[in-house]
Structure 1
């Protein structure tokens, strides 16, 4: 009883083709007309060479959505998507594609900010200013000028990032699979801890004791407190988050249920990198941001081998259609 899970950040065409944004990438390699055939080839290989392959995709944009749907329909897949973004990012979101031959008994899309709001009953929105997540961006870790507790929590709950989750039967055994694209707010570690912990806890809640896999672009590195909070026993207890409004109640960390990383489990370490690019905002960025986490009665059979070091000056390039690498892991249910 095996299943293969692929996670891939496709890179929104509107971002890739923005003039001068990917400073070291040739314009030809940034166009979706060049990138899509390479992406399609990578996806096809995972279908052709492996059984029960499920795809977790990030930066699924409105522009590319019809092409993706047509591709997966041709490959006898069903796709469940949630586009939660804004006009400036082409309504980007996440999606899961499942073979039509695989019994699907559950599908849902949940905004994690709304979920956090729902589990803190003492939170009253009228106690807070109308601040949004943009206000929180004013916080700089360097000068330690933190936003107020109210502003921080309202920012967390205002983010629209959605978890897409499906439940499938593998030879009669239930398995829950989710994909998530974390907010890129690494300069505000409190928000990253809140969201990574909330999406982890939400997956355990949905799985209700069944095995689960959570894959995606988490915008956090293995040494970050967010990574450690969801993978290390007891670590979350040492994280102090600001109180909610005038109440002492805080986000209730689930410290008993933790996630394991498929690549770390199989190789003893995370990949050297999963993202490589030079943009106007980040120069020569090369780090691990993407993961396939899991929990429950699952054994990692193998993982897709990734390069140890990037080639070229920046992705996308001739052979890499995204600034992220595609990750994949095969699991055995026991």
Structure 2
């Protein structure tokens, strides 16, 4: 069957990486991306399928609706799978008169950060939240989430029993413990790595404050709107010789193998695929207590810490040795639902089930 995934664009990110891996792993279905921003994104060539950019919101909601429905009709599309968080509700309304099966997919749990909004922003957010939940309840919507927390955020706490939880898997063949390491580490210090977009969510400014208090080397992988602010903070804290900004990289398995530990102080996450990768690489992982516990696979190598106490993070960096070896860690991840083979099978089975319903 033909499935179209609606996202903004295929830029580096966890959702995008999962969709790319799904497009290669799932040979039973044809996967197509509709990049509604009108841009293919930096990773479009990695996707095993068409990436459509002319069905864009830049042309307006009415034209977007018209072109989307025409594409579905003329291309015999079976399923529309939307990954646009609450905007998926508008996509559902655009398909009001279509017989195509519709999936709204929640990948994040943003409830914590919403608690810090001012009154005006919080009121607007609450209205948008109520509106999207009503749309998903009134109009037939198949609900999928990366975790229970992500399901509760988008669909409501009382509806999680109606949500299919599918963990976004990774291609574990890329994280085989026998891989050679990279040479980006610093032999003079313990090297820690963090992976994620340079946005408020990933909490890089907290990391810089942390590393200004310890003798360790930090590798930051990712790009985003906060890069300039992060660069300024690195200079202000005199961390230029102990913090390395690598930008987006394709050699993540090698970078992880070069590191002594993984650090992940996210303010919120739906799951955190980078955290899964770090566990597959056998690293000790120091993470915030905002990461869903469903993502814990190698429990022996995980330390969860609160974000309101930097002292415990400083202490943790001094004792970052994992208890479970790399071979055992890799094998445990391989046997979990975070293996892309299992994740892809669960998704494909779900597609079949909703087509039969």
- TM-score, normalisation: structure 1: 0.34
Between the two structures, name the one with larger relative contact order (CA 8 Å, sep ≥ 6).
1
> Where is the helix percentage greater, Structure 1 or Structure 2?
2
- Higher alpha-carbon Rg: 2
- TM-score, normalisation: structure 2: 0.33
